[in-house]
Chains A and B, each alone.
Chain A
Amino acid sequence: MLRYFVRRMAFLVLTLLGATIVIFSMLHLAPGDPIDLIVGPNVTPEVRENIRHQYGLDRPLAVQYLSFMKSLLHGDLGNSIIQHKPVSELIAERFFVTLELSLTALFISFLISIPIGIKAALKRNTVTDYALMALSLIGISMPTFWFGLMLLYIVAFKLRFFPISGYGTWRHLFLPALTIGITDAALLARMVRSSMLEVIRQDYIRTARSKGLPERVVINRHALRNALIPIITLLGLRIGGVVGGSVVVEIVFARPGLGRLMVDSILARDYPVVQGVMVVLTTCIILGNLLADILYAVVDPRIKLK
């Protein structure tokens, strides 16, 4: 177990390092001179060089990366070019908004998909199964933001069950979370179904059946428990998708989260903010995956050997 954790942590450090290198070099190799964004085109070359020096942009890229990483480890993500505030401050103001949405969505997704996936697997190749999987197919094929707009129109505008936009209470949270939750559940339900089918085919299920256990006991005590193990891995896999969905759905429901911040910053070409948001979101996703992997290893003793 310990060896597994050590290897897993080493891999984590490697991915985090790689991800920051990708994000950093991507935004620094971008065409166009960042100085233009800070001062505009109508300044003398001397002034430009001064500013370049002041921001450290005249140093080699590798050196810039190292100093970026050094500040990053101190929680310093640089300053916004447009808003003249520390990026970390801008992110801190909005982090919870996105976290709350992502976690609620993930919860809804599991709440919907696990019973649906299991039901479909148990009723394999019946009308129930086909109907559930057809629904799931439609769910997978919908763009998340479009589904959000439809919920907004029908549930919030026509039926007036929920506020149209804004942030604060659970009533503001519900529709965006439901949007991501349902679209994600569509994908997850298929995975749960095949994971459950995998288990049903195992020898120990046949054994349980042949020794005369009632079907209910076979399913609840033998199949379900084992099927839940790979579902934990799916939790890790879905974190990225849910966070990506949150970024887009925040725009639809006008929630002041990291997604809003990122898209606004891209349109304003405020690269330090884009970079900061990407680093924070990617780190969260990678850490989330780690958490799911560890949980998996804890729940399933067979993983130790890997």
Chain B
Amino acid sequence: MAEGVASTELAKSDNTFYGLMRRLLRSKAAIFGLVIIGLMFICALFAPLIATHDYAKQDLPSMLQPPSNAHLFGTDEFGRDIFSRVIYGSRVSIKVGFLAVGISLLTGLFFGSIAGYYGRLLDSVICALIDIALAFPMTLLAIAIIAVLGPGLFNVCLAIALSSWGSFARIARGQFLSLKNQEFVEAARILGYSDARIIFRHILPNSLAPLVVLTTLEVPKAIIVEATLSFLGLGIQPPLPSWGSIMSSGRSFLFHAPWITIFPGVMIILIVMGFNLLGDALRDSLDPRLRD
């Protein structure tokens, strides 16, 4: 009986967390994505246990060896084990992915909510800022910001966040704009609640869903930009192994030792694909009308 009631409710919109998760887990793509992401997290967390060698240990006699039982993914020009370096590299990618997108989300949420909630001049100014920020392509802007900040893990995160906060701000603004005139916000205002309370307790929780979807789709972008920056020598600096920096040094040996370049790339494809699958499924389960 409860089922019957639930289904009429569902027809309207069941965007509660529970309903969302149930629809999400029905999607094979989402499960597949989650499994890939889960495996990557295991790699990152248990890197010391999974890695077969010390990722930084040089072993010149066995340099540039093709994949074998001793070195699953081969070795680089210093005889370092690519498999172990790739496993440790997952730490950098995951760290950068989440840190960068976290900063980006908070920045975007801050500006977007102010613009949407207060409107007027503040809204126009912030909208202009968002438009300008989105006029730059992400990779290009991130490269330019690194030119100023210099390379390094945290700077890479900052550069990515500064070049991607615009999309978060735009979504947050739209959410706040449409929610601020809803009855429950009106009610809160009549009760005399402060703006801060209305924003954080009433509007924010209701505006999170599309932001969660965007977050899932921005993490893989951040991972690719990090790899690109590191590949150009502007990102993570040696000896810390990042997938991008492994490929950057592998590039010089591409024709004689392609494995140095192939495997980190495959890892990136996997993790990015995992997030994209999950993000797409999340978006579909949030708004089934979008599904095709």
Which A257-303 residues have C-beta < 8 A from chain B? Answer: 262-263, 265-267, 271, 274, 278, 281-282, 285-286, 289
The answer to whether A194 touches B292 (Cβ under 8 A) is yes
User: Closest chain B residue to A139 by CB distance?
Assistant: B269
Q: Among A18, A145, A245, find the residue whose CB has the most chain B CB atoms closer than 10 A.
A: A145
**B contact face: mostly helix, strand, loop, or mixed:** helix
Q: Which residues of B259-278 have CB atoms within 8 Å of chain A's CB atoms? A: 261-262, 265, 268-270, 272-273, 276-277
Once the chains bind, are A278 and B144 in contact (CB under 8 Å)?
Answer: yes
Give A125 to B255 CA distance when docked, in angstroms.
Answer: 41
Q: Nearest Cβ distance between residue B209 and chain A, in whole angstroms? A: 20
Roughly how many angstroms separate A240 CA and B276 CA in the complex, as a whole number? 21
Interface segment, one of B65-73, B133-141, B191-199 = B133-141
With A18-B128, A26-B145, A27-B147 in contact, do A197 and B262 touch (Cβ < 8 Å)? Answer: no
With contact pairs A14-B128, A149-B254, A278-B140 given, residues A30 and B148 touching in the complex (Cβ less than 8 Å): yes
Query: B97 in the interface, Cβ–Cβ < 8 Å?
Result: no
Q: Is A263's CB under 8 angstroms from B143's CB?
A: yes
Q: Which of A31, A138, A262 interacts with B269 by CB under 8 Å?
A: A138
Size band of the A side of the interface?
Answer: 35 or more
Q: Is B116 an interface residue (CB 8 A)?
A: no
- Pick the interface stretch among B40-48, B104-112, B171-179, B229-237: B229-237
How many Å lie between the Cα of A149 and that of B250 in the bound state? 10
| Stretch from B5-13, B79-87, B220-228 at the A interface | B220-228
Q: Which of B139, B148, B231 contacts A27 (CB 8 A)?
A: B148
Of the listed residues B135, B146, B268, the one surrounded by the most CB atoms of chain A closer than 10 A to its CB is B135
| A-B pairs with beta carbons under 8 Å apart, 22 shown | A15-B132, A15-B135, A18-B129, A26-B144, A124-B292, A137-B273, A141-B272, A141-B273, A146-B261, A149-B265, A150-B261, A150-B262, A152-B254, A157-B255, A247-B143, A248-B139, A251-B231, A274-B144, A278-B140, A282-B136, A282-B140, A289-B135
The 9 A-B residue pairs whose C-beta atoms are closest, nearest first, are: A244-B137, A18-B132, A240-B137, A146-B265, A141-B272, A244-B139, A141-B273, A266-B147, A30-B148
